[in-house]
Structure 1
Amino acid sequence: MKRILIATHGRLANGMLSSIELLAGTTKGIATINAYTNDTDFDAELEQFIDSLTADDQLFIFTDLYGGSVNQKVTKTFLEHKIPVTVIAGFNFPIILEILLSRGDLTQEKVTDLVDKCRSELKVSFLTEAHVTDDEEDFF
């Protein structure tokens, strides 16, 4: 079974989970860790997630910042437990949806392709008054 852990600084993980449920209709197999939101460390939450895994699980972990404290702790913990995992740091919403909704086991090549595809989903729009219009036909 595909298992996903979203581990972030603050409550970003739960926000992502809420959006996933809204758009995908399911959060089965997804867990979240909202690090540093209280005075306790998130070690216990991480261990609880690890205890829930089975040998058949294909595991994906999404962290908000590559090299950040959450990313470092998650990576170190899974290495210590010798659990195979794909860690995607600096994620965006499309990559979580792509991984979640992809059927079957995902190869390293497929995951890399999905990350590249979702990276291209980042767009920049510079909006100015000159572009403002009240015409609903111009919206798209």
Structure 2
Amino acid sequence: MVGVLVATHGRLAEEFLNSAAMLVGEKEQMSSVCVLPGQSPEEFLELAEKKVEELDTGDGVLALVDIAGGTPNNTMFRLSMTHKIRILTGVNLPMVMYCVMERSDEMTMEELIEALLENGRNEISEFGKR
């Protein structure tokens, strides 16, 4: 199964996983890593690499990050040079919930990425607009 690592500024990644667990339950091979105030990029890199190594059971890791070009994104990109990692930016709660409810052992990295891109985009709308 493709591992999923949610990586954000502040504790947002932890809270995405907490909220998803509250709404739809928990799923194996998912974790979070947060860059916190005062933490150096190298400290964050060490934490992120440890999480990636724990999550990757052979199918790679999909990193769901908050902002393109931010420290979580750049760190995952750096790790992608030596680990099997793909990166999606703009993580939102429906994407994390999809990983809990729909991600399966049979799903390839490509299938998961396409499904998450579609799901994430479909969940962004103006509510109530006629």
Give the TM-score, by structure 2 length. 0.79
What SS does structure 2 have at the residue aligned with 1:52?
helix
Aligned to 2:11: 11
Deviant stretches of 4+, over 4 Å:
none
Q: Distance between the aligned counterparts of 1:69 and 1:111, measured in 2? A: 21
Aligned to 1:69: 71
Q: How many residues matched? A: 125
Do the aligned partners of 1:58 and 1:105 also contact (CA within 8 Å) in 2? no
RMSD: 2.4
Give identity over the alignment, percent: 22
Gap change, CA 1:72 and 1:54, over 3 Å in 2: closer
- In structure 1, the gaps of 5 or more residues are 128-140
Q: Distance in 2 between matches of 1:47 and 1:121?
A: 30
Determine which structure has more spread, i.e. the larger CA radius of gyration. Answer: 1
Shift of 1:38: 4.4
Unaligned runs of 5+ in 2: none
- CA drift at 1:54: 4.4
Q: Counterpart of 2:63 in structure 1: which amino acid?
A: I
TM-score, L = length of structure 1: 0.74
Query: More relative contact order in 1 or in 2 (CA 8 Å, sep 6+)?
Result: 2
**Maintained 8 Å contact 2:52/2:61:** no
